[in-house]
Each structure stands twice: as structure tokens, then as C-alpha cells.
Structure 1
């Protein structure tokens, strides 16, 4: 197949951020498909084209950062719509794949699909606009109405929708019963994290503030929805009951300065809490290998429980337990399997007691780490989930592949579909 893949925030392993699109696109290339990726390049003023592991990447000069205000983000979204529609419209393809966020990627996706009379598959990483409405981002009746109209239009123009969690899929099916939806969650890269333990031990040896002390790691965006100030308050409580426990925050975003200010005010910055900035996907392996517990936190908004955070699956791949402070399918999974902790959303002091007790119990840490790795191996291995991903694209385009490899892939995908459905 010739696939035009539209993702405004495409990242390679040498960059900071999630690499789902890169990993799936390179696997598509390995299967013999031709993939053109259209993405934004916030650091350039000129359009350029590169080849990344066989993927033809069209980098468009669209300024964007997590630190932007919502108004500036909207401008960036619209700028990407305009530029990506031009590029996608001139490419020949059998299928268009558009992945949100933002949902505005559906606009160039639909345009390109109609222009070449090809189907479009839409991948949904957040249920939009349910989430921005819940977060108070879309406040006016007009903006909510426009967002809901865009959502309905995008789903109905899609041959198939891929949702990243069971909750997202359930929301779409409930409101749009005629839309075909398949769950393909974020995944664990077992190959990338195979040496996490050794890399983590090396990181500990060269990091004086860490050494052999217990480590709680947060690696991700520092945005308004993430609520990372929760970890600062947790650190303040840990300082009094388990001062050796270290918290490392890796990442950047709009709330970075306010989080740092709170850490200074609380007396924990560079004492038991350390803010290290973003690192590449390749570099983050060592931090997961060094940690005793990986955190995924959000503000207390129930809709966020439907998210599928990359950091959770990276922790599973490294065989590290996960602590969450929210409900939803990840919390249910942790409770069901014993792969970590579910912390109280509104009580960081009580959470600190749980974290201190957990990291102080080496047997409990080992058991939870083993459960986490079992999830990565048996239910979220990226190679297995790719089979589901490719099957959706192939079915939407009416492409069946050829030979034993194609038949084996479809058999594996069918098996995984049942397994994921049960996990949901």
C-alpha cells in the first residue's frame, strides 16, 4: 500500500517525545508498504524532506511547543492544517492515516482522501472535545458546538477509527454507533528497553544525588492536564518520612516554571526532587532502568482516566512498577495484576506514605516489576499490537497482502484482538 500518514507531532528516537508513529511507520515500511509521513517542524523556517528508517518524512515549518498558550496552539493547529493539506493533496496514496491530537488533522486527511478517492483511517489519542470541555479549555457554547461538529464530521468521514484505550472506544461507540472502532493502545518496546537494567545501574553510578537510593520517576509533559505539582507535594511529605527517596521529573511544558517555583517554595528542589528537562527516547531508557517506581499523574478529572500514557508502557517494558493517581483502565489494570500502586488523587501526603512503604519493601517491588514486565510481554508488546494496527489499515484499504507472512500476520492480529478485548 501507499500510505499518507499525517501526525503533527511525529518524533524519532533521537527526539524527546512519544515514538508510536515512528515505530508503526517503520514496521509498515518493513512489510513492504510505502509511507509518507507529514509532520510539523517547530525549529525550521523551511519545508524539508528526509528519510527515516525508510519513512519519507515531510517536515513542515509550523511553530509549536507545549509551553504555548491555548490561543497560540490553535493558530499552530490551523497553520499545520493549511500546509499539510497542500502536501497530502499532491501525494498518491491508497490510504490516508491521520492521527490526533489535534483533531484538526482530520481536515487535511479527509481532503487528501477525497482527492485520491482513498479511504481515511483516523487514530484518536484523546476523546476530543470531551476532554478539553472537561478541562475547561472550551468554555463558550460556540466553541463547544464547533468542536463537536468537527468531531462528528471527522468520525463519519473515516473508514475506521483506532482508539488508544477501551474508554475512548466506548465513548465513540456510545455517541456514534455507526462508526467502526478498534482499540490499539500504546505499546511496550521490549527491544528498546532490553538493556534498561544495565543502563540504569550505570546512570546511578554517575549520578551523585541518586546512588543506591530509591527513585520515583516521572517522564513526560509538564502541562496543565498532567498535574505534576502533585509530585512536588508528595516530595514535601516524603522529606519528613523517607528522606532518602528521590523523585526525578523529566520533561517540559507550559507548567514547568510554576512546578519549579512550587518545588523551591516547598524546599524540595535539588534536595529530594530533581527537575532534569526532556531527554530523547533513546536516553530515557536508563532512567526507567534506574527507577523503582514510575509515575503517571493527572489532575483530578475523570475523563483523563481514558488516556493511554506512553510512560506507563515504557515502565512495563523496563519491568518497573507504575504508580498512578487517577482512575480508569490503567488503574484497573494495575489493581488487577499487582503491577504497581493506585494513589489517592487528592491526598499527596497519604500517597507519600504508600510510596515510602512500597519502595522500602524490596520483595514487593520485585513482584510488581515482574507483573509489569508480564503485561509488556503478553499484552502490550509493540510487535504484537502492530499486527492489529496493520490489519485495520489493510482492511480499510481492501489490501490483503500476499504469501505466508501476510496470512501469519492476519492470524496473529485476530488473536490479539480477542486478547485486548478481554483486557478492556
Structure 2
């Protein structure tokens, strides 16, 4: 009989998260997979077309059975976001009480909010089965950084919830070594925590240089950013950097191609316009993930950045693996492990988070490198990816926990 994994993930297909691929791979490896998720609304904040409280509440995707419980869409303000988080937990509680599903394991894919783990923990306790937690975002640290709330009573309450979840999980997997160390400091035994880095889907791979309609084919040095445009990404550094690049009056046109959507996108566009650098920016609507390698192939380098904070210094963003898998030179404005990986792999250039002046210098220097030099950096990126984030090896490691 197939082992049955219940995956709890507030975000799932058609929302673009790596758990989609993990579940697809588990089906291929002979597991039965059921996903408990919400009604898709990320990052736009409203239900996707064709989905709703009375539409597509059950669905099959790549052999995965999807169960969608009611939740309030994220909207575009803090109150709606809080209701979104709360509604998933409330719906998950009632689902746990009435569901007849029997599973062998619970696997919780935890990107914010951590609250989404509660239905999974409750279900595992009820069925007396192992509960695995995959930590993508650290709480309560993430709440403090994103919301700016520092009230000790509020943060302390969230901390107690986090400790409750950690204590009731059989195993905790983390996306970075720094996350592992941080969780240990909360009193969780080291042997209970395992570093299990993210991998990129198979369609992220190097392809020959091409031209695409969305990116002008001229003599510009094209830099791509692809993904969610939120506050955590720290993209406000780019207009500041563009101003500094212009000030240097170099005979090299540089263009930032921003592909994606998110809560900060409109503010970023306004920031670009007010800084008078709109000629250096090309905003492209959100694209299917499978198209992103084409955008990489039409670009000279890929950009990632994180907000300047101790929390994000511990974070390895998923797009780092995507960029490396595509074999493209990387420009990073980030601290901690991300910075270390760029330097260790010799896959591009990196500067401290928030340092626009240093970033502008790095971009200027990179833009004058030869095709062969850029190709070498891209090769280094893919080589490091193959050695460090190999999908097959990582999935084999996870199989041992489903024995």
C-alpha cells in the first residue's frame, strides 16, 4: 500500500511555490499525496479567476488530491492579511474535526504565516502520526520585521505558539543553517532539526542566449529580477542604485527588468518615477514560472536582494537556487548565507544589504565584463547548484523519513 502524505500548505498550485514540485515528485516516487490548502489569492490579494468559496474546492493536479478550505483573501492592507491568516486556522480546525482522511505522515510547508502549521499539528496529534515541519520563514522574527510590531506581549504570544508547534513536530527541516541555529536557541534539540535546502524545478536550466518580446533587443546590459515584489525583498534599493549609476555618466546603458507582482509593486513604480530613472526600468507582468528561464536567457545577469535585517541575513531566498540552476551571473544585495554562497561559488557579485553605492559600483563593473567572463560566472553558478542543491539527492534524503 502506498504511504500517504498529508501536506499542509496555505499556498499551493496555481500559486507558485516550490511545494508544488515537491508534491509532484513524491507522486512520481510512489507516494499518495493530499494537500490541504486555501483558495488561491497570492500575491494579488484576491481570489484567482475560476476559484472561490463555492468553486473548485476540490481538485486533482499532477496526481495530487487538493482540498481547499475557506479563507479570506489577503487584500491589500494589514487587517485583511491578519484575517487571511486567521481564517485558514479556523477553517483548518473544523476540517480536522470532521475529516475522514487517514494519512501516514503530515508535512507542513511553512512560509509565512507560521499559524498555518496549527491544523497540521492538530491533525497529526489526532491521528498519532509523525509531523514534519519545513521552515521557510522564522517566526516571531518575521512578524517583527514585516509589521514593525515590537510589543512584548504580542510577540511573546506568537513565540509561545511557535514553541508549541516546534514541540509537537517529529522533525523540523530548515532552508538555511542559520535557521537551524536560531531554532536550537529556542530550546529545540539539535537532533530534531535538519538543514534541507531548497532545489529548483527541472525547468530551471541553462538555455542558449535568446531574444524575447518583453525585453528590448538593444545594447543595454539587462538585469532581471523575477518573483514576488514585496517589502521583504528590499527592492527600493534599485531606484537609489539607478540614480547613482546615472550620476557616473558611464557609456553603458543598464536596464532593470522587473518580472512579477506583489504588494509593493505600485510603490516601487512610484519610487522609480519620482527618482527620474524610469528609462532604466522595464516592469513586466507576472509570468508562468516555466517561462522564467527564457527571461534569464535574454538577460546578462540576475538580481536578488533582501532587506537589511538580522532575520534576512539568515535567509536563503528560493530565487537563489532558480538563478543558479539557470547558469546566469548573479548580482546580490544581501548579507549572511546568501552573500557567502555567491562568494563561495564565484557565481557573481555581492554587497551588503542596503548599500546602494556599493551595488552601483558592482553593477557598473559587471556591465563591462566580456561575454566569456560572464559565461564563466554563469557556469560557476550552475556547477555549484549541481553540487549543493541537487534535487535527486535531496529527495533521496527526505525519503528516509518516510520509511
Normalised to the residue count of structure 2, the TM-score between the two structures is 0.89
The 3-state SS of whatever aligns with 1:215 is strand
Superposed CA offset, 1:237-294 (max 9, x none): 233335511111112222211111111112222x111111321211222112222221
Structure 2 counterpart of 1:140, from 122, 143, 151? 151
Q: Which residue of 2 aligns with 1:98?
A: 108
Q: Whole-Å Cα distance in 1 between the matches of residues 76 and 214 of structure 2?
A: 32
Cα drift, residue 135 of structure 1: 4.5
1:224 aligns with 2:226: no
Structure 2 counterpart of 1:187, from 186, 192, 199? 199
Q: Whole-Å Cα distance in 2 between the matches of residues 346 and 318 of structure 1?
A: 26
Q: 1:242 to 1:182 in 2, by over 3 A?
A: farther
Cα drift, residue 62 of structure 1: 2.3
Superposed CA offset, 1:153-201 (max 9, x none): 0000000001111110111122224260111111133x3133x524x50
Q: 1:212 to 1:9 in 2, by over 3 A?
A: farther
Structure 2 counterpart of 1:278, from 286, 291, 294? 286
Q: Which residue of 1 aligns with 2:73?
A: 64
Q: Whole-Å Cα distance in 1 between the matches of residues 169 and 215 of structure 2?
A: 52
Q: Which residue of 1 aligns with 2:63?
A: 54
Q: Whole-Å Cα distance in 2 between the matches of residues 188 and 381 of structure 1?
A: 9
Superposed CA offset, 1:59-79 (max 9, x none): 2342434x6323321211111
Alignment of 1:15-414 (within 5 A): 15=15, 17-18=16-17, 20-41=18-39, 42=41, 43=47, 44-46=52-54, 48-65=57-74, 68-89=76-97, 90=99, 91-100=101-110, 101-178=112-189, 180-189=192-201, 191-194=202-205, 196-198=206-208, 201-203=210-212, 206-207=213-214, 209-239=216-246, 240-241=249-250, 243-269=252-278, 271-362=279-370, 363-392=372-401, 394=402, 399=403
Q: Whole-Å Cα distance in 2 between the matches of residues 233 and 29 of structure 1?
A: 46
The alignment's C-alpha RMSD in Å is 2.0
Superposed CA offset, 1:312-363 (max 9, x none): 1111111012222121112111112211111243431331121121132023
Q: Whole-Å Cα distance in 1 between the matches of residues 353 and 85 of structure 2?
A: 32
CA contact under 8 A between 2:224 and 2:302: conserved in structure 1? yes
The 3-state SS of whatever aligns with 2:172 is strand
Structure 1 counterpart of 2:6, from 4, 19, 29? 4
CA contact under 8 A between 2:72 and 2:80: conserved in structure 1? no
Normalised to the residue count of structure 1, the TM-score between the two structures is 0.85
CA contact under 8 A between 1:4 and 1:88: conserved in structure 2? no
Q: Whole-Å Cα distance in 2 between the matches of residues 210 and 36 of structure 1?
A: 45
Alignment: residue pair count: 383
Q: Which residue of 2 aligns with 1:419?
A: none
Q: Whole-Å Cα distance in 2 between the matches of residues 365 and 98 of structure 1?
A: 39
The 3-state SS of whatever aligns with 1:248 is strand
Question: Which of structures 1 and 2 has the larger relative contact order (alpha carbons within 8 angstroms, sep 6+)?
Answer: 1
126-135 vs 155-164, which moves further = 126-135
Superposed CA offset, 1:342-387 (max 9, x none): 1243431331121121132023312211110001211112222222
Superposed CA offset, 1:122-141 (max 9, x none): 11101111232244533222
If each structure's helix is expressed as a fraction of its own residues, which one has the higher value?
1
Q: Whole-Å Cα distance in 2 between the matches of residues 158 and 266 of structure 1?
A: 48
Q: Which residue of 2 aligns with 1:414?
A: none
Cα drift, residue 212 of structure 1: 4.8
CA contact under 8 A between 1:242 and 1:356: conserved in structure 2? no
Q: 1:391 to 1:249 in 2, by over 3 A?
A: same
Q: Which residue of 2 aligns with 1:409?
A: none
Cα drift, residue 391 of structure 1: 2.5
CA contact under 8 A between 1:296 and 1:311: conserved in structure 2? yes
149-158 vs 290-299, which moves further = 290-299
